[in-house]
Amino acid sequence: MEEEVMTEKRPIISTGGPQPAAGKRRSLSMPARYAINAVLVLVILILGELMIDGGAINRYQSTVLEQVGIYIILAVSLNIATGYLGQLPLGHAGFMSMGAYGCSIFIIRMSEVLGIGARDFVTGSPMTFLLVLGGLVVGGLCAAVAGIIIGIPALRLKGDYLAIITLAFAEIIRVVMLNIDSVLGFELTGGAAGLTGIPGYTSFLLVFGCVAVVCFLIHTMMKSRHGRAILAIRDNEIAAEATGVNTTYYKTLAFVASAFFAGVAGGLYAGCVGVLQPAVFGFMKSIEILVMVVLGGMGSMLGSALSATVLTILPEALRAFSEYRMIAYAVVLVLVMIFRPQGLLGSYDFSLSRIIERVMNRDFPWSRKSAAPAGADDGKEASHDA
Amino acid sequence: MFITQVLNGLQLGSIYALVALGYTMVYGIILLLNFAHGDIIMVGAYVSWLVMAQLGLNPVLAVILSVAACTLMGVLIDKVAYAPLRNAPRLSILITAIGVSYFLENGAQLVFGADAKVVPAYTDLQTIQVGDLALSFPSVLTVIVTIVATVALTLVVQKTKLGKAMRAVSEDMGAARLMGINVNSTISFTFAVGSALAGIGAVLYAMAYTQASPTMGMMLGTKAFVAAVLGGIGSIPGAVVGGLLVGFAEVIVTALGLSVWKDAVVFLLLIIVLVVRPTGIFGRTMNEKV
């Protein structure tokens, strides 16, 4: 459903690997690659929207689809910190809740100021669209600020300690959201009863538009100099520092980017669900997102997206067996880890332009004999999907 | 009043300390945050409930069976879920631990139902008289049992051959294997001891709060884990000190009438300690080899 953007930045003239007929290998230029992927994204978005408008996808199914999109954003954003930076944050739900509360409070307050009713969000107008975009950015920024506050002390620690400190921070956020109203007398988060009256601004187009944009941003970031610095830190922090990478800066950057996108996903989540309760954003939510990333294969955006899709749809499909589904989930998790510890897809990533190039060069797996040509295996390099 | 609060702090802290010891030992030997540890306590509490409330047997038998069930459970989890992953990336083992924890929680919910079960009192003796003070008997018992268990554990680790093997494996697994130490059975023994302590913790917890529910292990486990990290993970005195710190912090915050904030205070304490002393109070700083 959501195989979308796959851009792959490589030198326009392919240079990797020994090739019998150098220069003969044809490759796509960068604008062509972007164009192909942009067209594909548009086609899928329009197709999805048409199916919803035409009634082929009912209200319930489209809500599930929105959830799928939201979890894809959460998984790919956590993947920045886990897969690319190689750290283990256990507090992603905390960033998500910062974003959700930030975005929905902003939208509720601003629509009061601007005199926009809840109905206007459903019918849609340029004004509400801008407001929602603003809300998502505010949500992302709230989460990013939380990311900086926790990231700077946490990233001085290593491995498990980082995991614990982020877990602790997410729990603190949850308790604060739960009690801030009753203590300080604000009417901000609604406490345990929850924040209600959030307009239903989340739609299929908005969610998957965000998915495409987020995946594109992460992809371009990871293919840039900054992305390579982050990957270098993952592979060997000491070596990276010795070669002049500012490790503190790049670790914080990756961490904050991860938090920002989680905040955007939180904002979308608020509009999808309509009610926010702090209890939702507990430790288990963080684990759920982490499981998606690890199960799909760390460092693989396609893996994160696929397992987010499967793990969101599967519980819905298995509602009839609800008593057993969590046990089955646990068993699958343990089995995958025992038999395929690197995750289902490892670090493989999907790239449409790579496939098109293969076809252009008539380089098919079955016609290959020895000495795999360039582009056949990108190793750990992560490319793209949505 | 003051004495009661101190005793409350000691009791809660002791339970955390016992559970934290299990976390610390397992982490010390295979560097694994055993997320399933909290759920082992849940199993122990359910066994007590089964034996006393359902079968109507003697509380002493309930205690023995609870501890035995926890020990078995710990070793079984290690053999089935963790042993195949000895050489896998650490994150995979961590996710496996989370999977095991899910499995136990949801399994218990399926078998026993989601509602909390009332564990009957283990003993009729509720208070003891010291001078003109009436002290809660379960609290005093908890503190005594914890002291005895900690001393016994320290003796096992420091004085016996198995303890020596444990220390060797935690220092350098490869070298220990070369010295002829059976690494797998040493790890199993560590799980057995840690889980037995969790079993004792389960009995003491059930004595204090008289409840068993499928998710009871989660918060208790997380707090105990915080305690282990506070004290310096891998260190036995650290786990005890961390447990008492967490217990007292909670009791003080509750006594001030801010009980809704007690979780936040515990976690804030953890963040502050980790920022000031990144390896915890008693943690060893390890030099990184390039």
**Would an 8 Å CB–CB cutoff place B86 in contact with chain A?**
no
First to last CA, chain A: 10
CA distance A107 to chain B (A): 28
CB B206 within 8 A of CB B216: no
Q: Check CB contact under 8 Å for B99 and A294.
A: no
Chain A residues with at least one Cβ partner in B under 8 Å: 82, 88, 153, 156-157, 159-161, 163-165, 167-169, 171-172, 175-176, 178-179, 182, 238, 283, 287, 290-291, 294, 298, 323-324, 326-327, 329-331, 333-334, 337-338, 341-342
Nearest Cα to A304, choosing from A316, A281, A288, A327? A288
CA neighbours closer than 13 Å in the CB half-sphere of residue A69:
30
**The total number of structural domains that make up chain B:** 1
CB A312 within 8 A of CB A64: yes
What is the number of residues in chain A? 386
Residue of B nearest to A286 (CA): B98
**Would an 8 Å CB–CB cutoff place B95 in contact with chain A?**
yes
Per-residue confidence (pLDDT) for residue A274, from 0 to 100: 86
CA distance A330 to chain B (A): 5
**CA–CA gap between residue A91 and residue A211 (Å, rounded):** 21
CA distance B92 to chain A (A): 6
**Would an 8 Å CB–CB cutoff place B211 in contact with chain A?**
no
Handedness of CA A233, A239, A241, A245 (dihedral sign): negative
CA distance A355 to chain B (A): 31
pLDDT along chain B (290 residues), means of 10: 85 92 88 88 93 87 93 94 84 85 90 87 79 81 92 92 91 90 92 94 90 87 89 87 92 85 88 84 65
| H helices, E strands: number in chain B | 11, 4
Q: Which residues of A touch B88 (CB under 8 A)?
A: 337, 341
> Which of A171, A290, A326 is closest, CB to CB, to B267?
A171
Q: How many CB atoms lie within 10 A of CB A289?
A: 27
Whether residue B150 is contained in a domain is answered as yes
CA distance A222 to chain B (A): 22
Torsion of CA B261, A291, B193, A159, to 10 degrees: -80
Whether residue B93 is contained in a domain is answered as yes
Whether residue B189 is contained in a domain is answered as yes
CB A262 within 8 A of CB A78: yes
Q: Which residues of B touch A176 (CB under 8 A)?
A: 264
- CATH code of the region A30-363: 1.10.3470
**Can you give the pTM of this predicted structure?**
0.83
Q: Which residues of A touch B90 (CB under 8 A)?
A: 159
Per-residue confidence (pLDDT) for residue A224, from 0 to 100: 92
Inter-chain contacts counted by CB atoms under 8 A, chains A and B: 112
Residue of B nearest to A239 (CA): B290
Per-residue confidence (pLDDT) for residue B181, from 0 to 100: 92
Q: Considering just the CA atoms, what is the radius of gyration of chain A in Å?
A: 22
Residue of A nearest to B271 (CA): A165
Q: CA of A129: how far to CAs of A40, A59, A108, A201, in Å?
A: 24, 21, 14, 9
Torsion of CA A246, A252, A253, A258, to 10 degrees: 150
Whether residue B265 is contained in a domain is answered as no
Q: Check CB contact under 8 Å for B106 and A164.
A: no
Residues 6-65, chain B, touching A (beta carbon < 8 A) = 27, 31, 33
DSSP code for B130: E
Please give the distance of CA B132 from its chain centroid, rounded to a whole number: 34
> Which of B85, B88, B275 is closest, CB to CB, to A153?
B275
Strands (E), A127-262: none
Q: B193: which 2 tokens?
A: 């001891």
Nearest Cα to A274, choosing from A190, A194, A204? A194
Per-residue confidence (pLDDT) for residue B200, from 0 to 100: 94
**Would an 8 Å CB–CB cutoff place B172 in contact with chain A?**
no
In which domain, by residue range, is B66 found? 17-216
Q: B258: which 2 tokens?
A: 């801010």
Q: Check CB contact under 8 Å for A334 and B94.
A: no
**CA–CA gap between residue B277 and residue A133 (Å, rounded):** 42
Q: A8: which 2 tokens?
A: 């792959």
**Would an 8 Å CB–CB cutoff place B102 in contact with chain A?**
yes
Q: Check CB contact under 8 Å for B270 and A176.
A: no
First to last CA, chain B: 56
CB A320 within 8 A of CB A238: no
Per-residue confidence (pLDDT) for residue A318, from 0 to 100: 76
Residues with Cβ within 8 Å of A75's Cβ and at least 6 positions away in sequence, in order, are A289, A292, A293, A296, A304, A305, A307, A308
Domain map (residue ranges) of chain A: 30-363
Q: What is the pLDDT of residues B169-184, one digit of tens each?
A: 988 888 999 999 999 9
Q: CA of A218: how far to CAs of A61, A73, A248, in Å?
A: 28, 10, 19
CA distance A20 to chain B (A): 39
Residue of A nearest to B35 (CA): A287
Q: Check CB contact under 8 Å for B271 and A169.
A: yes
Q: Which residues of B touch A331 (CB under 8 A)?
A: 99, 103
Residue of A nearest to B290 (CA): A238
Q: Check CB contact under 8 Å for B99 and A334.
A: yes
Residue of A nearest to B27 (CA): A160
Q: Check CB contact under 8 Å for A337 and B275.
A: no
Whether residue B187 is contained in a domain is answered as yes
**CA–CA gap between residue B82 and residue A149 (Å, rounded):** 35
CB A207 within 8 A of CB A45: no
Kindly state the percentage of chain B with pLDDT values over 70.
Answer: 98
Give me the interface pTM, i.e. the ipTM.
0.82
Q: How does B188-199 read in b/e, with b if 16+ C-beta sit within 10 Å?
A: bbbbbbbbbbbb
CA distance B278 to chain A (A): 7
pLDDT along chain A (386 residues), means of 10: 41 43 66 82 83 78 90 94 87 93 90 78 78 93 93 79 86 87 69 81 88 92 92 90 91 93 94 88 86 84 88 80 75 83 73 75 64 39 38
Any idea what the Cα angle at residue A329 is, between residues A323 and A333, rounded to 5°? 160
Per-residue confidence (pLDDT) for residue A334, from 0 to 100: 84
Whether residue B284 is contained in a domain is answered as no
**CA–CA gap between residue A263 and residue A217 (Å, rounded):** 15
CA distance B201 to chain A (A): 23
> Which of B85, B226, B233 is closest, CB to CB, to A337?
B85
Q: Which residues of A touch B263 (CB under 8 A)?
A: 171, 175
Interface test with A, best of B103, B109, B219 (most A CBs within 10 A): B103
CA distance B35 to chain A (A): 11
Q: Which residues of B touch A338 (CB under 8 A)?
A: 81, 84-85, 96
Q: A126: which 2 tokens?
A: 């340029």
Per-residue confidence (pLDDT) for residue A225, from 0 to 100: 92
